[in-house]
Amino acid sequence: MILYRVIRLFMNNIKLTIEYIGTPYSGWQYQNDEKTIQGEIEKALFKFSGEQITIQGAGRTDAGVHALGQCANFNMKKNFSEFQILNGLNFHLGNEKIKISQVEKVDEDFNARFTAKTKTYLYQVFNSLSPSVLEGEFSIHIKQKLDITAMQTAINFFKGKHDFSAFRSSGCQAKTPIRSIKEVGIDIKENKLIFIFKAQSFLYQQIRIMVGTLLEIGLNNRKPEWIQELFLSKNRALAGPTMPSKGLILKGIQY
């Protein structure tokens, strides 16, 4: 451990803030035979620096999920300026749907994943009779009129510390289903509804299941109090559907 810390003293710890359109990628995390966001950034880093570097992301977004403010960090031997790293990475990323929006040299103890205090996600729903071509890549389309008041009542049941067993996918490997959601909300911008969730961490597909459940309430298939029943049931099969990944956006990471 001491030797490891000494080695790190001679390296630069670099924080990246990253935007990406998730549609063409098989998620954030590196996979040998798949195109991923982590993989493309690491390729660009090698082309830029000549170093084999592994980056640590704050959130491992699924295939098709987008980001406005994903964060990652890595250690680099060479002493490039923040400006050089920003320009170099964006140049080597070329036409990829990934861009580095900010580069910052940070303290050696900073870790994009483990020092994050909260993460903010958005889920976008376009509520109109006709779908939107421009909004289509970043939102799902619901043509039926939604009961906004009922969904606003329901979403507040998610705030606080709960057992979210009914709101996690069967593939979830988290040790505990207990999560604490700090902030929730629904922003309305003309025909677009933006569901907002802020927490230190989320379970696998939790947000997409919570939104699917809220939309069942918005369609007046269920009452807002259904959320409380689902908490007690701890049964995923009773909650709403898992909504498509394309509506989900990682807005930012708070440190």
Please list the active-site residues: 62
Report the C-alpha gap between 222 and 175 in whole angstroms. 30
CA 85 to centroid of chain Cα atoms:
24
Nearest to residue 128, comparing CAs of 117, 115, 116, 144? 144
**Is 141 strand, coil or helix?**
strand
Report the C-alpha gap between 224 and 157 in whole angstroms. 8
Cα–Cα distances (Å) from 64 to 6, 12, 177, 216, in that order, read 39, 32, 24, 23
- Which runs of E-coded beta strand occur in the chain? 12-20, 56-57, 66-76, 98-106, 118-127, 140-142, 160-163, 178-189, 192-199, 248-254
CA 93 to centroid of chain Cα atoms:
21
Tokens (6 digits) for 180: 């604490």
Contacts of residue 145, defined as CB under 8 A and 6 or more positions apart, other chains included, come to 127
> What residues are paired with 252 via a beta bridge?
120
> What residues are paired with 223 via a beta bridge?
none
